[in-house]
Amino acid sequence: MTKFDTLLVANRGEIACRVMRTARAMGLRTIAVYSDADANARHVREADEAVRLGPAAARESYLNIAAVIEAARRTGAGAIHPGYGFLSENGAFVEALDQAGIVFVGPPASAIAAMGDKSAAKARMAHAGVPLVPGYHGDDQDDALLKAEADKIGYPVLLKASAGGGGKGMRVVESDAGFQAALDGCRRESQAAFGDQRMLIEKYLTQPRHVEVQVFCDAHGNGVYLFERDCSVQRRHQKVLEEAPAPGMTAELRRDMGEAAVRAAQEIGYVGAGTVEFLLDADSSFYFMEMNTRLQVEHPVTEMITGQDLVEWQLRVAMGEPLPLAQDELTITGHSFEARLYAEDPEQDFLPATGTLTHFAMDLEGAGLSSFEKGRARVRLDSGVESGDVVSMHYDPMLAKLIVHGDDRDQALATLNRALAALDVQGVITNRAFLQRLATHPAFKNAELDTRFIERHEATLF
Ligand code: ADP
């Protein structure tokens, strides 16, 4: 591993701004890349230098490996941070960087590949002693055999495309009568989306929570967990509100999940920041779901409760340094929430919204809040936009993330609600009112969480 003094951020929006903020604080020169649609975007304005990649279409810009590498060469960038999405979990990109002698701020290509295929990943995890949802993830894909496995697991079962992602090629099967039709449907969907028809079958948990563990490994064999996040509040498998720590965890369960997550990472030779996602059942059983081999959107809630800067950890690990802290030096202080502000219209089935942000600000003072309190961040707005910016339809509609910290969950939630009210966004429709309804919902206040929270409370949320 090599030291570097210039970092290219191969991303856009809030995450590009957020990564550059830490890079600057560490004394690194920052390079932005952009598509034609983003020529005047905030991440371009904030970088020391910016390079055009190509037209608006992501395929021709942010996903264009050759153009990104050429931009790094031209600007003398010794390392590339991929953010999340785009090229962040693309093994071919990592291999191309290895060949070009550019440091990838992330795991080795082999670790990305090990987690890229759901069936293969499950086999590895079983080997590492990480608990899996009861199910079938074998190579034999014969119809009759799959049906027999589903019968054995017991309905409802969940069919999942081995090569899947983003909820595609996934179906719940309520009873054996519907199995064959669901299998055919999933295979068609998976073939179309991923060019692959392999399926795995899992027991369908009816009220699980989504609890994920932040892990970090360095290149010297050290691995730690930075505790968990509860991301159960999802709409169509998209996270909306996240929090850390997860409510109701015992110290023992936290340690068991944390240690399982570190085992998962070390099994595949992981280096850098990763997230191991688990389903947590009502009886406190937890099951490995998948590992995301990148920095997550919701990483700030972990930063808020640990007081650590995860991007700084990533950059240090990429420079070959050992992890900044050992497991017993990490502690949880207070509680944190994150709300994702999307340019979308909840009144119109969450249709993405576009336009010019005539006004985008948060009046903290007016709300009686301050961004720092008792020496730590209390309200944080990670944003990719400012007043006057144009929101186009080309990319993910997330505008910003509002992150708060409190001494306990109740205090943090009260702060979240005040900060949401202090947000003033004009010119583009957002989901702010929907976030407010969620964050003031009695069931949410009581932490009655599971992945169908939004579905179950539809009547009172819309
Ligand atoms: P993808 O990679 O397509 O996002 P995941 O395997 O991560 O698919 O699952 C997405 C979501 O589906 C999870 O966050 C969870 O809400 C739900 N889910 C996945 N597996 C199960 C299961 N066995 N039982 C119940 N819900 C599940």
- Nearest atom, ligand 1, residue 206 CA: 25
The residue whose C-alpha atom lies closest to atom 13 belonging to ligand 1 is 237
237 lines ligand 1 (CB under 6 A): yes
Q: What is the DSSP string of 301-354?
A: HHHHHH---HHHHHHHHHTTPPPSS-GGG----SEEEEEEEESEEGGGTTEE--
CB 229 less than 6 A from any atom of ligand 1? no
Question: Which protein residue has the closest C-alpha to ligand 1 atom 22?
Answer: 204
**Cis check: omega of the bond before 324, within 30 degrees of 0:** no
Is 236 touching ligand 1 by the criterion CB < 6 Å?
no
SS3 for 142-176 is CHHHHHHHHHHHCCCEEEEECCCCCCCCEEEECCH
Find out whether the beta carbon of 167 lies less than 6 Å from any atom of ligand 1. yes
Residue whose CA is at the smallest distance from ligand 1 atom 11 = 237
Atom of ligand 1 nearest to the CA of 170: 3
CA–centroid distance, 202 to ligand 1, in Å, is: 10
244 ligand 1 Cβ < 6 A: no
Instruction: Indicate whether residue 202 lines ligand 1 (CB < 6 A).
Output: yes
Ligand 1 nearest-atom number relative to CA 203: 23
pLDDT in tens, the chain (462 residues): 578 999 999 999 999 999 999 999 999 999 999 999 999 999 999 999 999 999 999 999 999 999 999 999 999 999 999 999 999 999 999 999 999 999 999 999 999 999 998 889 999 999 999 999 999 999 999 999 999 999 999 999 999 999 988 778 899 999 999 999 999 999 999 999 999 999 999 999 999 999 999 999 999 999 999 999 999 999 988 999 999 999 999 999 999 999 999 999 999 999 999 999 999 999 999 999 999 999 999 999 999 999 999 999 999 999 999 999 999 999 999 999 999 999 999 999 999 999 999 999 999 998 999 999 888 889 999 999 999 999 999 999 999 999 999 999 999 999 999 999 999 999 999 999 999 999 999 999 999 999 999 999 999 998
Cβ(279)–Cβ(311) below 8 Å: no
* Residue where the block lists tokens 């992330």: 106
Q: Which of 202, 239, 289 to mutate to test the pocket of ligand 1 (most atoms within 8 A of CB)?
A: 289
Q: Is the CB of 455 under 6 A from ligand 1?
A: no
Using DSSP, state whether 187 is helix, strand or coil. helix
* 327 Cβ neighbours under 8 A, 6+ residues apart: 224, 225
Q: How large is the greatest C-alpha to C-alpha distance in the chain, in angstroms?
A: 65
294 carries an active-site annotation = yes
Gap from CA of 440 to ligand 1 centroid (Å): 26
Cα 167 to ligand 1 centroid, rounded to whole Å? 7
Say how many Å lie between the CA of residue 420 and the centre of ligand 1.
29
Ligand 1 atom at minimum distance from 277 CA: 7
Cα-to-centroid distance, 240 and ligand 1 (Å): 15
Residue in 12, 254, 294, 432 annotated catalytic: 294
Q: Is the CB of 135 under 6 A from ligand 1?
A: no
* Beta-sheet strands, E only, within 90-222: 103-104, 135-136, 157-161, 170-173, 199-203, 209-217
**Which ligand 1 atom is at minimum distance from the Cα of 237?**
11
Residue nearest to atom 9 of ligand 1 (CA): 167
pTM: 0.95
